[in-house]
Amino acid sequence: MIDVPFFSQFLKVSNFYTLIAIVLLGAAMVCLKMLKDKKVSFSKRMIIALIIGLVLGIGIDIISNKSGIYIDHARGEISAWFGLIGTGFLKLVQLLAIPVVFLSIIKVVVDVQGDRIRSLTGRTFITLLSTTAISAIVGILVVKLFNLNATSFAGDLTEQKTEFINNIASQSFPEFFLNLIPNNIISVMGDNGSIVSVVIIAAMFASAIRFLKVKKPTEVAPFVTFLDSLRTTVNSVLTNVIKLMPYGVVALVSNTIISNGIQSVVSMLGFIAALYTGVIIMLLVYVVILSFMGVNPVMFYKKAFNTLLFAFSSRSSVGTLPYTLQTLEKDMGVSGETSNFVATLGTTIGMNGCAGVFPAMLGTLVAAAAGATMDFSFFVLVVVVVTVGSIGIAGVPGTATVAATVTLNGLGYGSAISSIGAVFGIDPIVDMGRTMLNVCGSMVSSIVVDKWEGTFDKDQFNTPSNHTQINE
């Protein structure tokens, strides 16, 4: 190891482990570039990127985790370099989240004819919250299925995490929702965690535009044209960012494993297995829902694969939103009005993973440890609290902590969340599955609402995908 500030603090390459990891990441990038040059399809490159990321992350950690140099120095350095690629890519996508949400809501509200906005809103809330209620039931079931015990997950929370949770726990239900109402348009537009506030602002602007298109059409027309042009430009930027996705996936997946370590995964294997079982069960529930709606679930998952893979890697429903909208509109035959409205709201309402399965699991665990009677009325209470509490939870990394705190407050056990601190130690590992479920749920809900509205294009849905070949 080179114990010189230039290498250890500035360059972040002070040892052999870090150097080898950087070389391996570079080799992976070159490999993916060669596959692109050989016209390998985007879908196949995404699968290969996921596999490379898993092998790279697991391989580096297994081979190196016995070394003190790796644990004390190399792991942090490798995470910094891998984050340069992975987190850097994710930031480019998140950069577009606010404009996509803002412009999407405005377009929907302005373009929807007559009173359809009322039916669209009602059906969207019913569908998103219904799937959340189902996911909460699944969360309860997997806790019972795996016979999980809260005492197995005891652990200390970091000071920062404890302060964050205490701030949320100190808020009453009205106060929590009051904080969602924006009071500064500039600060809201600069924070990906304020998606609900962005939706409120967009709805206010859109309502004004609808009114002015009737009362003062000449004056408002240039502004509407500007917004349409801006939306087209944002979509073009998005297309260019999506081309980098396979490279980002490799770095994101491998960095998640390296920064947390295989040992942390092994120690919490029961909880991880339970949560991912819940994810799988919900994916099967979606199969039933889609089949009931007359939509081919195999075709759905085939077309949704790249989007779900990115959600899994990025751990951000909001960051995935631009790609979610593109997949729904160009691949799945969902009307632009429905996809923009449902999928956008789906990043903050009714997230089946972060605000459904996960908080229901923690609520059941903590309540059982506190001696609550595990009867039917309690389980109904959990489902109701989780479903109502899922409204207004932003779809960014760390969201599930907010949802879990809100749920435990609703059940009366907010102060006991620290008793399962070990769960939050492996949060990035379980967050990948939760986020994928969030996005999948919003896509399924978009199709359900569009079918309900009678605007779903089944022929386009059944047509082989084109936009995922964007890089060719």
At 199-210, the pLDDT tens digits run 889 889 998 998
Please give the structure tokens belonging to residue 281: 């069960």
pLDDT of residue 216: 92
Mean predicted confidence (pLDDT) in 267-287: 92
Mean predicted confidence (pLDDT) in 68-86: 89
- Pick the residue with more confidence: 308 or 322? 308
pTM of the model: 0.82
Coil, strand or helix: which one is 424? Answer: helix
- Pick the residue with more confidence: 61 or 176? 61
Please give the structure tokens belonging to residue 199: 């939706």
Residue 421 confidence class, pLDDT cut points 50, 70, 90: low
Please give the structure tokens belonging to residue 472: 């060719």
Which amino acid is residue 124, in one-letter code?
A: T
Q: Does the pLDDT at position 147 exceed 60?
A: yes
The CA distance from 276 to 289, in Å, is 20
Q: Does the pLDDT at position 472 exceed 50?
A: no
Distances (CA, A) of 55 to 10, 49, 97, 146, 285: 28, 10, 30, 28, 30
- Which sequence spans correspond to the domains of the chain? 5-94, 114-185+262-464
Distance of CA 159 to the CA centre of its chain: 25
CATH 1.10.3860.10 fits 114-185+262-464, yes or no: yes
